[in-house]
Structure 1
């Protein structure tokens, strides 16, 4: 018996794995997952290959920023869930003690709760399906739905890695990694210009992207291109 709400299950059953790129599929899954856990606001998918994490899909810039902050620290719920295989929840970021520095930083950016569910992948990849909330509290009773959604994501990723879409998968992942590399370069520029640390540089970049209504990765790319003009 499914743990998912009927409306979410109906959407999942409507997803067709054939004739769709992995990017399209994962984008579809994170959009569906927004309705999978009540009270949570944004969703992302973290994948880790060769110890290099990247966000393969996200519903909004808040989720991307929450992921990227963890990548900078090298720890956090989405990374630890993928590596440990355990479902990790943070009901209140302001009281979190396992990742206190990350929690305080991301809470200041508006993320007050999080759920990370490991992806049951049978490949050299590991990863997690992540939910972020703007208010405290996580839906503990509905976490079974999150686990079920993660299994659907894992099937899509596993098929892409194993079968005919492997070349497209590799291209998508290279693009995702390149996007993260651009963000790191932009942070370096900001650090040099403002004589600040990586955390403050990322916050400056994120604030600028929101103020200009430009995606974080697009703004970072513009900064790097301008530097080389």
Structure 2
């Protein structure tokens, strides 16, 4: 029996896998995971193939930083959860003995707790659904809900892989990487114009994207294009 709130479960079950790109699907799951799981703040999806990690979707700039710090060290909760198949939880990063160097770095970015749930994928692709908290503590409810949501995410990824196997997934990941590059450029423009930090710039982009009902990468590309044009 599901432990998720009825509204969250209804949202998950309403997602149609056909007719949407993997990028679009993961974005929807990220939004549900962020809004529907109590006690945590930021969410990401980590995928690995041939031991090469990649953040396929993320809710905030700080979630992306928390992932990429692990890629730099070569270890951390999301990488270890993906490879071990075990749920990993950090109640307080300031007292974390398993990944001390990573914990010390990520605390400086305001992350004090984390939960990483492995994705039950039946392919050579592995991954994890990650929650990051700005406060210590990782509630049991987060783990229980995380396991259920991770199962839905895994179905979406498996469906994308089986639809056109490696070629489609590779194309999706290339698109996501290109999107990341233009989003970073747009963030730089917003930071310069508004004298804000990277996380605030990302939030401006995200809210504008939702308000205008356009994809985040399309809005970012428009900002970069307009900025590049001579006055």
TM range (shorter): 0.7 to 0.9
**1:52-201 matches, cutoff 5 A:** 52-164=52-164, 167-176=167-176
CA distance in 1, matches of 2:200, 2:40: 24
SS at match of 2:103: helix
CA drift at 1:212 = 6.0
Cα 1:142/1:208, change in 2 over 3 Å: closer
Post-superposition Cα deviations, 1:23-71, rounded to whole Å, max 9, x if no partner, equal 0000000110013321100100000011100000001111001001100
- Provide the aligned length of Structure 1 versus Structure 2: 196
CA distance in 2, matches of 1:39, 1:212: 24
What's the Cα RMSD here?
2.6
CA drift at 1:168 = 3.5
Is the Cα contact below 8 Å between 1:44 and 1:55 reproduced in 2?
A: yes
CA drift at 1:164 = 4.5
Which residue does 2:214 correspond to in 1?
Answer: none
Cα 1:157/1:211, change in 2 over 3 Å: closer
**TM-score with structure 2 length normalisation?**
0.77
CA distance in 2, matches of 1:85, 1:23: 23
CA distance in 2, matches of 1:28, 1:212: 21
Cα 1:112/1:160, change in 2 over 3 Å: same
Unmatched segments (≥5 aa) in structure 2:
182-195, 206-216, 225-231
CA distance in 1, matches of 2:36, 2:200: 30
CA drift at 1:5 = 1.2
CA distance in 2, matches of 1:25, 1:145: 18
